[in-house]
Amino acid sequence: MTDYELTRRDALKALGAAGVTVAGGAAALAWDESGENDATEASEDNATSSESEFGDHERETYRAIAAIVYPSEVAGIEEFVDSYVAGRVEADPERAEDMAAAVADLDAYTREWEDSNFVAVDAATQEETLRGMGVKVADPNPHGDPRHRVRYYLVNDLLFALYSSPTGGELVGIENPQGYPGGTSSYQQPPNDR
């Protein structure tokens, strides 16, 4: 199988497809030594609840979800997810609170069944937890119950990021995903045999 290497450039393209403009480009998408996004530090002073802060634990949860829902052919997941999530958090602090709350919902469910946070259990248990929570069949709804919010903010957002990136589009045979300029030559060529 061919690996499809995701990059920060892919994350920037996915952010653009989501309507997110990141100041400073890829340089703004780095996490500092403590594991928190620089943009998050400024918003933490205004946070009213520790549940609304988006930091290393939330980032690790997004990485774990991506490892489950992304196809096995994809490489570079951690850097891609870090960059994409950092851009989302920087661009919209209110959404970042909702993203952190969805992680807290997933952790609460995992603690109920496994006595541990989601990222602390092994990959097979993580996958089983998502299945048991009903995330696969839940409608993505930012105002629904916990499984709907987990589906909306974690699973669907990560899948959107992957498949709206040039590498993710190539993975499923979309040579020119929406929002990615490819020129007229990209659709005048026959598809590659795979």
Determine the Cα–Cα distance for residues 76 and 106; give it in Å rounded to an integer: 24
Q: What is the pLDDT of residues 152-164, one digit of tens each?
A: 999 999 999 999 9
Given this model, what pLDDT does residue 137 score?
94
Domain spans of the chain?
Answer: 4-176
**pTM score:** 0.78
Determine the Cα–Cα distance for residues 126 and 43; give it in Å rounded to an integer: 30
Given this model, what pLDDT does residue 19 score?
87
- Alpha carbon 9 to its chain centroid, in Å, reads 15
Mean pLDDT of 129-152: 96
Q: What is the pLDDT of residues 164-193, one digit of tens each?
A: 998 888 888 776 655 555 555 555 556 565
Find, among 112, 109, 72, 84, the residue nearest to 20 by Cα.
Answer: 84
Mean pLDDT, the chain, whole residue set: 81
Q: What is the pLDDT of residues 53-65, one digit of tens each?
A: 899 999 999 999 9
Determine the Cα–Cα distance for residues 153 and 160; give it in Å rounded to an integer: 11
Determine the Cα–Cα distance for residues 24 and 7; give it in Å rounded to an integer: 17
Q: Tokens for 193?
A: 């045999």
Mean pLDDT of 131-152: 96
Q: What is the pLDDT of residues 68-101, one digit of tens each?
A: 999 999 999 999 999 999 999 999 999 999 999 9
Task: List, in sequence order, every residue forming a beta bridge with 74; answer none if it has no partner.
Answer: 4
Query: Is 5 in a helix, a strand, or coil?
Result: strand
> How big is the chain by its Cα radius of gyration, in Å?
17
Does residue 9 register a pLDDT over 70? yes
Given this model, what pLDDT does residue 185 score?
53
- Alpha carbon 82 to its chain centroid, in Å, reads 8
